[in-house]
Amino acid sequence: MTISTLSNPLFELKGVSKKYEQKGKMVDALSDVTVAIPRSTMVSIQGPTGGGKSTLLQLLGALDRPNVGSVSFSGKDGDLNLESLDETKLNLFRAKSIGFIFQNYNLIPTLSALENVAAALEPFNIPWEERLKKAATALEKVGLAERVNHLPPELSGGEQQRVAIARALVKDPEVILADEPTGNLDEGTRDEIIGILEKLWREQGLTVVIVTHDSSVAKRAAVHLRIEKGRVTTSS
């Protein structure tokens, strides 16, 4: 168990445990975890396969609930206890506050880069033309101003991940949660993508949490979490 002494964290987990059934047996994904995620920094999460990294990220992103313990978020709308919110409120929280980035990009192949980014604004009841303008601005920020009308299959892996970053950014989230964002990329492209995420932290004060198996990615973060057998340790 790890206890953080942060006075004003963005996320705080207290006594969190999560179990899953796997091949007829109950597996402890997280065991009595108490840890805080600071705001306006970049945090890396590392550990062996099956150690609980993705489970922790899912709890932070309100994609799952703990069996035991609490997950709190202190953001623009005040303090929220995520484990106690109903599905409607959780959906709203995810839409407004969380920007997700995945290893496999999760883009819609039949939509252009611009349309993929604009789709993230669907829950906000913004007129389509305004959504397209916001999407174009987000794509420009990640260096894709000239590729807005291309479909995902027409883009390289690095370009697709840039579209995914723009999609996460377009709704002005309070935190970016990235699950192996460079796992499918070559070394040079990996460094470009992490450079973009690091810039968001250092220049805009955005909180970025990255699950990664790559130590060269993890070392770019300011705070390092390691999960092994469901237990978390921290260093900074």
Segment 149-178, tens digit of pLDDT = 999 999 999 999 999 999 999 999 999 999
Count of domains observed in the chain: 1
pLDDT over 50 (residue 3):
no
Cα–Cα distance measured from residue 30 to residue 34, given in angstroms and rounded to the nearest whole number: 10
- The pLDDT of residue 137 is 97
In a domain, 207, yes or no: yes
pTM of this prediction? 0.92
Query: Where are the alpha helices (H) located in 111-209, listed in sequence order?
Result: 113-119, 128-141, 157-169, 187-204
Q: What is the CATH number of the domain that holds 58?
A: 3.40.50.300
pLDDT tens figures, 105-130:
999 999 999 999 999 999 899 999 99
Residues contacting 28, CB < 8 A, separation 6+: 17, 18, 19, 229, 230
Name the band, by pLDDT with cuts 50, 70 and 90, for residue 6.
low
- The pLDDT of residue 22 is 80
CB 46 within 8 A of CB 225: yes
In the chain, what percentage of residues exceed pLDDT 90?
Answer: 85
CB 38 within 8 A of CB 201: no
In a domain, 176, yes or no: yes
In a domain, 157, yes or no: yes
In a domain, 148, yes or no: yes
Kind of pairing, strands 223-228 and 42-46? parallel
In a domain, 54, yes or no: yes
Query: Could you tell me how far CA 229 lies from the centroid of its own chain?
Result: 22
Per the structure, the complete domain to which residue 153 belongs is given by 11-235
- The pLDDT of residue 2 is 42
**Mean pLDDT of all residues belonging to the chain:** 92
Task: Calculate mean pLDDT across residues 192-199.
Answer: 95
